[in-house]
Amino acid sequence: MATLVKEPPPQSEVLIRVNSTRGGGSGGGNSTIHPVEVSTAPAPVAYQEITHFKKWVAWLIPCFVIANIVMFIITMYVNNCPKNSVSCVARSLGRFSFQPFKENPLLGPSSITLQKMGALDVSRVIHKHQGWRLLTCNWLHGGVFHILANMLSLLVIGIRLEQEFGFVRVGLLYVISGFGGSLLSALFLQSNISVGASGALFGLLGGMLSELITNWTIYANKVAAFVTLVVIIAINLAVGILPHVDNFAHIGGFATGFLLGFVFLIRPQFGWVRERYAAPGYSRLARSKFKMYQCILWVVSLILLIVGLTVGLVMLLRGVDANDHCSWCHYLSCVPTSRWSCRTEPAYCLSSQIGSQLNMTCSSNGKSSLYMLANPSSSEIQGLCTELCR
């Protein structure tokens, strides 16, 4: 927000006019002084904009939203459900129709299509050196419901942050948080693919929390804001214990954004700003730009962030499964109950083709089914297997 500093007008002065009259005699002349007060109009007030609290125009976050929507449309075009699947939802949409609910309840593409488009597949990251998937997966979504929820949240959270801190810092916060979320997800969930901008979104929430902490002294109603933000974050993380939700991406994105907030979103103190923009002649004190606790948090957070991302990336590229070192951590992503299971093994089926008859048996639950298909594609077989194993 632009804060304006009012400079005091210059002091008005009394002007003295001297009138001289000369007599006609030889005695010379007499000088008479007439003081005249001249009314002076008040000087115009000069204003300066304080750039440290400038209100930015948000344009990057809307561009991110558009990019995600465009990527989803392209993904649905590549998916082409009528050609690659036996049944589709909303077939009237043509190649933009959705996979069956049993295969994808989010109204979206198949897992094979998401893999083609750059979903996070740990085996390909490790064995085929496709580390770029740690970034591209953040721009893909599993379905209409998925992208609607994420993009609405991005608009609500991201625009406010970009207006306050600018597109550079918020853009870096979004991208790096998404990478951190993907990294933690890849270390713990190595059997399934993962897509979505949730890790980056939680990074923005983490940045908001750390920004409130590091700039604590310049806020009013800070306790109420802190409690409200913590409750919102806790509720969103609690939703992550449901099945088919990658809560490790949420946790990793939040932790990364939380540390980045201390680095990117630090503000100078009001006393330092007031003195810097004070009028000439204003007495200045030797004030530091940041408080000591802000500097400590900045240094510690930067070190933790660099070390954490580096160690995590090295562990991933070496094929380390973090579940082997933490037997209870899988409960952070899914808690099994009587109503749902947390089994996330990929679907494997045994199939045999006799003429136009395709016989399939799911290896995980033992279910079998017979389909009438002539020369089915690999995408059709994988889709039928996914439905059969659910």
Selection from 77, 109, 74 nearest residue 379 by Cα: 109
Q: How confident is the model at residue 384 (pLDDT cuts 50, 70, 90)?
A: confident
* 52: its two tokens: 């440290």
For residue range 313-353, list pLDDT tens digits in order. 999 999 999 999 998 888 888 888 777 767 666 667 777 77
With cut-offs at 50, 70 and 90, classify the pLDDT of residue 212.
very high
Closest CA to 79 of 377, 388, 387: 377
Mean pLDDT across the chain:
82
Q: What is the pLDDT of residues 343-372, one digit of tens each?
A: 666 667 777 777 777 777 777 667 777 777
The one-letter code for the residue type at 289 is: K
DSSP three-state, residue 3 = coil
Could you tell me which residue, 275 or 373, shows the higher pLDDT?
373
C-alpha neighbours within 13 Å on the C-beta side of residue 298:
13
Rounded Cα–Cα distance for residues 96 and 75 (Å): 9
Q: Is the pLDDT of residue 163 over 50?
A: yes
Q: Which of 111, 177, 194, 198 is catalytic?
A: 198
CB-based contact 277:50 (threshold 8 Å): yes
> What is the pTM (predicted TM-score) of this model?
0.78
The helix or strand, by DSSP H or E, that contains position 214, with its residue range, turns out to be: helix 198-214
Q: Which of 250, 301, 333, 379 is catalytic?
A: 250
Neighbours of 237 (CB within 10 A): 16
- Judged on CB neighbours under 10 Å (0-12, 13-18, 19+), 307 is exposed
Active-site residue flag, 250: yes
CA distances (Å), 79 to each of 27, 95, 298, 385, in order?
Answer: 114, 7, 45, 17
